[in-house]
């Protein structure tokens, strides 16, 4: 009997950033079920600032253009897509709920996967009732049976009640709506959303690093994101509104030159310049006249800003999330991490191991998108596979009825573009994490600085 050839399953990832919009096109292998990268393209973004839409028409134009390039280079029609977004208004908090899974009078029985899904469903439902934001992620952190010790997997434990502790990640509804609507207007069918801090982490960390303890730090153009991993799962994520654009803007303002020239100068200096080279001249033409400055002049602007990002904000956030005895590695990516001498600078700042990452499986990517600034784009592919392999660990509370892509459980993922139920008057988010409290204070500091 002849079997008809199956149609290819094509799923794309759109990475929306302040400086660039990138797209990765994947095709699912029907034998291995892996998603193979068949195209990855990037262009300069317009209409996007600090991860948010500031001009819808320009943002739509940027998305359409990168889609067109990807389609021309892959001979595939790009439709279904997962968005990687990183607005700075992210909030994380934990919530718990207990579910009685044994009927009254029935004997104790082992916990099943269905019981785990049910307690997660009820916990998310309660969180939605008390929270008006768009819940983008839910990560089960621990379970317990009959108030016993916390475990990662309660299946097989006998009892009557099961409890779960969830880490929830939320964004303002309007912010998410704006990004989704721009992507849809550009011709995409949005089937999922991943926060950029998570896609960057999955695109830069190894399995061993996630298991033993790691912090993924992505310093982009408009924002810097952090994702904390321990025991193979997400412990917290955070983002704050500062990045490479602040460095460029400082150079442009202090030297009274266009941002394009400032961006060029920024890339011409190293954080570990030889003292003998500090007087070297850097020259370019501006309005038909030569503009001359020195390596020292540029470095005096670049270095303090990078020190501020790392020492005032990133390092304290990491130290507050981990105890001194925790084993961890800090992995950096993003455009700023391309700065010459950046890794040496990090070794001077941190006592724990640090490294600067290129995208995982970089050799499978086209040569022009293997740089450190593409970890979040490559990480979308890792997220797709992780979500297929571990659907109970990577839950999207506000995503699903609209999701028709293969491997996505419409029961767990419901895409809600309307605000829906508002917060109960007087209700509060429960258990905001340390990193959430830290970044509330940090955002206030940035409002004063910028």
Number of H helices and E strands in the chain, helices first, is 12, 19
What span, in angstroms and rounded, lies between the C-alpha atoms of 127 and 130? 5
Instruction: Name the 3-class secondary structure at 291.
Output: strand
User: Within 10 A of 150 (CB to CB), how many other CB atoms are there?
Assistant: 13
pLDDT (tens place) for every residue of the chain, 450 residues total: 444 555 667 899 999 999 999 999 998 877 777 788 999 999 999 999 988 999 999 999 999 999 999 999 988 899 999 999 999 899 999 999 999 998 877 888 999 999 999 999 999 999 988 888 999 999 999 999 999 999 999 999 999 999 999 999 999 999 999 999 999 999 999 999 999 999 999 999 999 999 999 999 999 999 999 999 998 889 999 888 889 999 999 999 999 999 999 999 999 999 999 999 999 999 998 888 899 999 999 999 999 999 999 999 999 999 888 766 677 899 999 999 999 999 999 999 998 999 999 999 888 888 899 999 999 999 999 999 898 888 888 998 876 433 333 333 433 443 433 333 322 222 233 445 444 554 455 455 544 444
The CATH number that domain 91-171 falls under is: 3.30.1490.110
DSSP 94: E
Record the pTM. 0.85
What span, in angstroms and rounded, lies between the C-alpha atoms of 197 and 235? 12
**CB burial of residue 302 (10 Å; 0-12, 13-18, 19+):** buried
Of 358, 375, 15, which Cα lies nearest the Cα of 203?
A: 375
Crossing angle for the helix pair 244-255 and 259-266, to the nearest 10 degrees = 110
Q: Where in the chain is the domain with CATH 3.30.420.40?
A: 8-89+173-194+360-419, 205-357
Strands 52-53 and 224-230: unpaired
Domain 8-89+173-194+360-419 is classified in which CATH homologous superfamily?
A: ATPase, nucleotide binding domain (3.30.420.40)
Strand extents, DSSP E, 5-72: 9-16, 20-28, 35-44, 48-49, 52-53
205-357: CATH topology: Nucleotidyltransferase; domain 5 (3.30.420)
Of 165, 168, 164, which Cα lies nearest the Cα of 93?
A: 168
Q: Where in the chain is the domain with CATH 3.30.1490.110?
A: 91-171
């Amino acid at each position: 009997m002849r079997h008809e050839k199956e149609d290819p399953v094509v799923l794309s990832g759109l990475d929306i950033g302040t400086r660039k919009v990138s797209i990765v096109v994947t095709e699912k292998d029907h034998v291995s079920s892996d998603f193979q990268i068949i195209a990855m393209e990037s262009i300069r973004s317009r209409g996007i600032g600090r991860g948010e839409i500031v001009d819808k028409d320009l943002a739509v134009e940027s998305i359409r253009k990168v889609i067109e390039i990807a389609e021309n280079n892959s001979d595939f029609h790009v439709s279904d897509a997962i968005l990687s977004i990183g607005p700075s208004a992210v909030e994380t908090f934990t919530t718990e709920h207990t579910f009685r899974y044994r009927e009254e009078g029935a004997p104790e029985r082992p916990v099943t996967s269905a019981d785990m899904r049910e307690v997660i469903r009820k916990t998310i439902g309660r969180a939605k009732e008390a929270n008006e934001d768009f819940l983008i992620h839910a990560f089960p952190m621990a379970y317990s049976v009959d108030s016993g010790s916390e475990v990662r997997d309660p299946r097989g434990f006998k009892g009557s009640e099961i409890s779960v502790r969830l880490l929830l990640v939320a964004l303002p509804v309007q912010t998410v709506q704006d990004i989704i609507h721009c992507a849809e207007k550009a011709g995409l069918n949005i089937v999922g959303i991943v926060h950029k801090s998570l896609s960057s982490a999955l695109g830069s960390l190894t399995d061993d690093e996630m298991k033993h303890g790691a912090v993924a730090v992505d310093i982009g153009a408009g924002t810097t994101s952090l994702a904390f991993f321990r025991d193979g799962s997400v412990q917290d994520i955070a983002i704050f509104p500062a990045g490479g654009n602040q460095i460029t803007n400082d150079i442009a303002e202090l030297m009274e030159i266009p941002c394009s020239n400032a961006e060029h100068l920024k890339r011409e200096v190293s954080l570990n310049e030889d003292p003998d080279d500090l007087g070297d001249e850097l020259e370019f033409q501006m309005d038909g006249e030569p503009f001359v400055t020195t390596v020292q002049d540029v470095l005096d602007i670049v270095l303090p800003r990078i020190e501020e990002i790392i020492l005032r904000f990133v390092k304290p956030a990491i130290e507050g999330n981990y105890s001194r005895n925790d084993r961890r590695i800090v992995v950096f990516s993003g455009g700023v991490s391309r700065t010459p001498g950046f890794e040496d600078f990090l070794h001077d700042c941190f006592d724990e191991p640090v490294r600067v990452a290129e995208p995982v499986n970089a050799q499978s990517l086209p040569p022009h998108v293997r740089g450190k600034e593409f970890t979040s784009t490559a990480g979308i592919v890792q997220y797709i596979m992780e979500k297929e392999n571990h659907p109970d660990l990577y839950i999207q509370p506000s995503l699903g009825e609209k999701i028709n892509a293969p491997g996505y459980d419409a029961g767990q993922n419901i895409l809600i573009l309307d605000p829906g139920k508002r917060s109960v008057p007087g209700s509060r988010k429960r258990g905001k994490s340390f990193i959430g409290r830290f970044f509330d204070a940090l955002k206030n500091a940035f409002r004063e600085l910028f």
